[in-house]
Amino acid sequence: MRALAGLTILVTLFAMAVAWQDRWTEGLARERDHIRTTSELAANPADGWSRLIVGRPSGAPIPVTPPTFLERDEDLGAEPPAPPPEDWDEPAFAPDTEHVVAPGEVLGTICQKHYGTARMELVNLVSKYNRLEDADDIDLGQTIRLPDVRRFPLSDL
């Protein structure tokens, strides 16, 4: 008899847990659907742009087109920047040095030999300059271009 009462209690508790879980998931689904239907995501197919408003609307009018930078400068009364003087020369950089990767070399050792430092910032910049996906992604016999160090915005080399 006790076993039957215990089994009945377990089955009842299990049924209550299933009902609670169903109500919980239905509530979450209703909340998700409410958020999807009331979000302020409106697409304007005429210009290809979308608008997403996060939070409460401020009541400010929505601009039809964003102002350009020139319009903003004119609104502020700023003048466009003056062109450089005619006698101004572009900074002259030394031509790139080409280095063929030898056995056992990595980009850090190449930078150490050429620039005198193997700082990680410099190694990453040389990697980007050579359009490498990774600084460790060089192969034996590959030609690496080593530009003038003044091209890089580094200090204390």
The CATH number assigned to the domain holding 115 equals: 3.10.350.10
Q: Confidence class of residue 2 from pLDDT cuts 50, 70 and 90?
A: confident
Query: How many Cβ atoms are within 10 Å of 137's Cβ, its own excluded?
Result: 11
**Would you say residue 71 lies in a domain?**
no
Phi, psi of 108 (to 5 degrees): -65, -45
3-state secondary structure the chain: CHHHHHHHHHHHHHHHHHHHHHHHHHHHHHHHHHHHHHCEEEEECCCCEEEEECCCCCCCCCCCCCCCHHHHHHHHCCCCCCCCCCCCCCCCCCCCEEEECCCCCCHHHHHHHHHCCCCHHHHHHHHHHCCCCCCCCCCCCCEEEECCHHHCCCCCC
**Would you say residue 60 lies in a domain?**
no
Q: If you average pLDDT over residues 132-155, what whole number do you get? A: 83
**Would you say residue 73 lies in a domain?**
no
**Would you say residue 85 lies in a domain?**
no
Residue-wise pLDDT tens digits, 38-89: 554 444 444 556 666 666 667 666 666 655 554 444 555 556 667 767 766 6
What is the residue range of 135's domain?
A: 97-151
**Would you say residue 59 lies in a domain?**
no
Tell me the whole-structure pTM to 2 decimals: 0.42
Please give the share of the chain, as a percent, with pLDDT higher than 90: 24
Scored b (16 or more CB within 10 A) or e, 67-104 reads: eeeeeeeeeeeeeeeeeeeeeeeeeeeeeeeebebeee
Whether 130 shows a pLDDT value over 80: the answer reads yes
**Would you say residue 137 lies in a domain?**
yes
pLDDT, position 99: 92
Domain end among 17, 35, 52: 52
Q: Confidence class of residue 137 from pLDDT cuts 50, 70 and 90?
A: confident
Residue pointed to by tokens 């995501």: 41
**Would you say residue 68 lies in a domain?**
no
**Both structure tokens of 156:** 């204390």
**Would you say residue 112 lies in a domain?**
yes
> Domain total for the chain?
2
